[in-house]
Amino acid sequence: MPKKLEFFYDCSSPWTYLAFTKIEDVARRHDAELIWRPILVGGLFNTVNPSVYESRARPVPAKARYYVKDLADWARFYGLKIGNPTVFPVNSVKAMRGAFVANEHRVIAHYSRHVFESYWGEDKDISKDGVLREIVRATGLDEKEFFTKIASDEYKARLRENVEELIARGGFGSPTMFVEGSMFFGNDRLPLVEHELAVGAGGDLNEVSGSST
């Protein structure tokens, strides 16, 4: 049986955008079952990782400068356009509820890419219904169904339940990945994810890259 690769993610994170662009290839290379798990990262921060807010309020200047360089380096390495959005942090709750709708129609990767690109590449506020309508149309989803579902208690609960599950499993941010229950956090852990998928799955460890390319 294929190993399960769970991807807990929120499109409001640039580091998650980086990992998102590679996660399908990682799963494909190792014949893993990729399971999309939309979350609201603010729910994690509020509950188990409030230090994020402290670091934003009182940044360490040297660390903040390096953060900007590090993200730019990774974006260049991956060939992505990651800007500095006018609205940050953004309320991604509607967009992430919408990921469940997209998943039902088997277009969650396509949908999520449009959300990431709209926010990080085009500086569009993904909390706005007008921006979400553009994404919905580009993804080929039905607007009425999309907005009806994301406003419903059921879809609100789904997002909340994913956040609660991730917290219960030791998660504290986005992206968080699990390979058969073993947790990995961050874009730069993708090589370790590949290693975990290869071990015991008939994979050749010599084919596992030392970097997430």
Q: How do 176-179 and 33-38 pair as beta strands?
A: unpaired
CA torsion, ordered 150, 187, 12, 164, to nearest 10 deg: 50
Instruction: Give the model confidence (pLDDT) of 159-192 as tens digits.
Output: 999 999 999 999 999 999 999 999 999 999 999 9
Task: Indicate the CATH number for domain 4-207.
Answer: 3.40.30.10
Instruction: Give the model confidence (pLDDT) of 8-62 as tens digits.
Output: 999 999 999 999 999 999 999 999 999 999 999 998 878 887 777 677 778 789 9
Question: Quick check: 129 and 177 in contact, CB under 8 A?
Answer: no
Helices 143-150 and 129-139, axial angle in degrees (round to 10): 130
Question: Quick check: 22 and 190 in contact, CB under 8 A?
Answer: yes
Domain ranges of the chain: 4-207
Q: CA nearest 141: which of 181, 167, 192, 106?
A: 106
What is the token pair recorded at 211?
Answer: 């970097």
